[in-house]
Chain A
Amino acid sequence: KQEVTQIPAALSVPEGENLVLNCSFTDSAIYNLQWFRQDPGKGLTSLLLIQSSQREQTSGRLNASLDKSSGRSTLYIAASQPGDSATYLCAVRGNTNAGKSTFGDGTTLTVKP
């Protein structure tokens, strides 16, 4: 059974700092890995989708990497801003078990002005 772990559970940084969020998974048989942002009481907004054949994806100040063999993904946020404060979730879609997605518990990021 796929298990997804996100470390740290919470992170607080000053504005302007570069930071890395981590996601690890136990089963490397995946279709893709998706990073989401969730604001309090809201739904999930997709940030980046990495296919199993890809190593990284970039969007603006965000860069996500995928190392399938070691079961790890990182989300790099450059020059953090207070508006980046949110919970970040990673989800792994497996290529077994009907392709269902398994979510981590998220990392709650606070960027202080």
Chain B
Amino acid sequence: DGGITQSPKYLFRKEGQNVTLSCEQNLNHDAMYWYRQDPGQGLRLIYYSQIVNDFQKGDIAEGYSVSREKKESFPLTVTSAQKNPTAFYLCASSPRQGGDTEAFFGQGTRLTVV
């Protein structure tokens, strides 16, 4: 059963703490993406990766970091430098970057600062 798995579903972070959100896909897709969604708003791109060991900053990369050591995995770390991390985080993948390809999404991780 192919798809994108995000974990955990809910995550709580203390002030000054780094946390890592997991995203795994078994669709054999080359491109993967991380988006942030705030209440009542659309998605904003944090980071994206077109191939293994390569990734690019999106529109709101400050305070976040990623890695792409394996094709199927694209973890996102929310660092203490991100001053307003409370949001809903969505991971997506597509067969390749750009072009006429469809994007598939995971079920999201809701991060709350406590």
Contact = CB atoms under 8 A, between A and B. Distances in A.
The answer to whether A and B assemble together is: yes
Contact of B98 (A4, A49, A93): A93
Given A43-B90, A44-B90, A100 B110 contact: no
Contacts, number: 66
Tell me what chain A mostly uses at the interface: helix, strand, loop, or mixed: strand
Interface stretch (A12-20, A59-67, A70-78, A101-109): A101-109
A32 interface: yes
Q: What size tier do the contact residues of chain B reach?
A: 20 to 34
Most buried by A among B6, B43, B45, B102: B43
A102 B81 CA distance: 25
A46 interface: yes
Interface of B: 4, 6, 33, 35, 40-45, 48, 50, 56, 58, 88, 90, 92, 97-108, 110
